[in-house]
Amino acid sequence: MSSNREKIRVSVGVMAHNEEANIGRLLDALINQHLHEVEITEIIVVASGCTDRTEDIVREYMEKDPRIKLLVQERREGKTSAINLFLKHAKEDICVVESGDTLPHEAAIEHLVRMFKDPKVGMTGAHKVPVNTPDHIAGLLTHLRLRLEHQLCLEIPRLGELIAFRKVFDHIPPDVSMDEAFVEALVVKRGLQVRYAPDAIVYNTGPTSIRDFVKQRRRNHAGHLYLKHKYGYKVSSLENSRVIKIALKELWGAIQFIYTLGLLAVLEAWARFLGWYDFVIRKERYEVWDMAWSQKADVAQERERLVEQVPPSTLVDPSAVQPQEGP
C-alpha cells in the first residue's frame, strides 16, 4: 500500500443549507470512504443561513473526527459564495465539492480523485444516480434525464453535484449561478482536461413534482445561457445535436424493448397453449421430458463471453451500490 506522502491529498467541501435530514449520513459516508490512492485531509462544511439543526449535527461530528470543520454564513448567499468561502480555507491543491443533499458511494472519492495522477486532468465529475422511485411521472422523468445525461457525459463531460478540481483559481465570480460549469470553463481555459468518472457514484433526490422538475430545469438552462453569453463557455448540454442523437438512441432502444416484450408475450402465450394441449388433450405428464439442449453449456465460459460484450457496470450486483445506512 502506498505511503501517505504518495497519496493524492484532497480537501472536501460540503455546501449545506438546512440539511439536517441528510448531513449526518453524508459525513458518515465521507468519513468511511474506501481509500487507497487518495487521502482526505479535511472535510469543510459551509453552512449557509441554516435555521435547522445542520450546524449542531456538524459540531457533533467534529468531536468524532478532527478533519471535520464548520464554516458558518449567517445569511444564505448562494452556493457560489459558499464555494468561495471553502476555497479560501482549503489547504490542498485538489478540492472536492459536494452538495449537502447528496450521498456518495463508499468508493466515490477514490474513483473521482485518483484520475489526478494524470497531470493533464484538471477536473472530474461523478455519476449521479437518483434515489427517487420511478413510480410517478416526476420520478420517471428524473431517471430518464439522468440516464441521458450519463450517456452524454460519456462523450462530453457535464459535471455537477460531486466534482473534484485542481485549485488553479481563487474564487468564482459572484454573478455565476452554475458554479460547476464555471469551474469547468476555468479548467478548460487553462489547457487542462475535464473527465467524467462513471464509477464515482453519488446519490441524490430529484424533483418529486412536475412543477419542481420544470423549475429546476428552467433555472439550470438560464444559468447555462448566462455563462455562454457573458463568459463564452458552452456546456455540453447546449450541444443540441448531440443531445438529440443520444435521445434518439434511447428511443430506438425503447422501441426494441417494446418489440421484444411483445414477442415474449406471443411466445409465452403459444407455449402455454401447447402446455395446455399436452396436459388436457394428449394427457402427457413429462416424467422424462425432451431436453432443451441449447441450455447445456459451460456456464463460466458463457459468462466470460457476456462480460466481454456487455459493459461491466451493468453486471454489478445492485446491492453493491446502495446508499449506506446512517445511525
Residue 121, Cα to own-chain centre: how many angstroms?
A: 19
| Angle between helix 79-89 and 179-189 (nearest 10) | 50
Domain stop point among 238, 263, 290: 238
CA atoms lying within 13 Å on the CB side of residue 327: 8
- Alpha-carbon distance of 40 to 19, in angstroms, equals 22
In a domain, 317, yes or no: no
- Alpha-carbon distance of 91 to 202, in angstroms, equals 24
> Does residue 21 sit in the same domain as residue 84?
yes
Phi and psi of 292, rounded to 5°?
A: -90, 90
> Does residue 191 sit in the same domain as residue 303?
no
Cell matching residue 216: 429546476
> Does residue 286 sit in the same domain as residue 149?
no
At 239, the amino acid letter reads E
pLDDT of residue 292: 53
pLDDT of residue 1: 42
> Does residue 205 sit in the same domain as residue 279?
no
> Does residue 132 sit in the same domain as residue 222?
yes
In a domain, 322, yes or no: no
Mark 201-219 as b/e (b = at least 16 C-beta within 10 Å): bbbbebbeeeeebeeeeee
Smallest CA-to-CA distance from 35 within 119, 111, 131, 95 is with 111
**Are 159 and 150 within 8 A, CB to CB?**
no
CA atoms lying within 13 Å on the CB side of residue 232: 3
Task: Give the H/E segment covering residue 48.
Answer: strand 38-48
What residues have CB less than 8 Å from 129, skipping those under 6 apart?
A: 146, 201, 202, 203, 204, 321
In a domain, 178, yes or no: yes
> Does residue 76 sit in the same domain as residue 169?
yes
For residue 93, give Cα distances in angstroms to 70, 160, 253: 20, 20, 43
In a domain, 125, yes or no: yes
In a domain, 320, yes or no: no
Residue by residue, pLDDT tens for the chain (327 residues) are: 444 468 999 999 999 999 999 999 999 999 999 999 999 999 999 999 999 999 999 999 999 999 999 999 999 988 889 999 999 999 999 999 999 989 999 999 999 999 999 999 999 999 888 776 666 676 666 666 667 776 676 677 667 779 999 998 888 887 766 677 778 888 888 889 999 999 999 988 776 677 776 776 676 667 667 666 666 666 555 555 666 766 677 677 667 768 777 887 888 888 888 888 888 888 776 655 555 555 555 667 766 776 666 555 444 444 444 444 444
> Does residue 227 sit in the same domain as residue 276?
no
Domain count of the fold of the chain: 2
Residue 59, Cα to own-chain centre: how many angstroms?
A: 27
> Does residue 143 sit in the same domain as residue 266?
no
Cell matching residue 196: 467524467
- Alpha-carbon distance of 297 to 313, in angstroms, equals 25
- Alpha-carbon distance of 227 to 196, in angstroms, equals 21
Helices (H), the chain: 23-31, 54-64, 79-89, 108-113, 137-155, 179-189, 210-231, 240-276, 299-309
**Are 163 and 183 within 8 A, CB to CB?**
yes
**Are 205 and 131 within 8 A, CB to CB?**
yes
State the DSSP string of 188-245: HHTT-EEEEEEEEEEEE---SSHHHHHHHHHHHHHHHHHHHHHH----GGG-HHHHHH
Domain stop point among 220, 238, 256: 238
> Does residue 250 sit in the same domain as residue 279?
yes
> Does residue 62 sit in the same domain as residue 19?
yes
**Tally of CB atoms within 10 A around 196:** 22
In a domain, 325, yes or no: no
pLDDT of residue 183: 84
> Does residue 225 sit in the same domain as residue 247?
no
- Alpha-carbon distance of 13 to 9, in angstroms, equals 13
> Does residue 171 sit in the same domain as residue 268?
no
In a domain, 252, yes or no: yes
Domain stop point among 238, 272, 297: 238
Give the range of the structural domain holding residue 100, as residue numbers without chain letter: 4-238
In a domain, 297, yes or no: yes
- The CATH code of the domain that includes 125 is 3.90.550.10
What residues have CB less than 8 Å from 302, skipping those under 6 apart?
A: none
Helix (H, G, I), strand (E, B) or coil at 8: strand
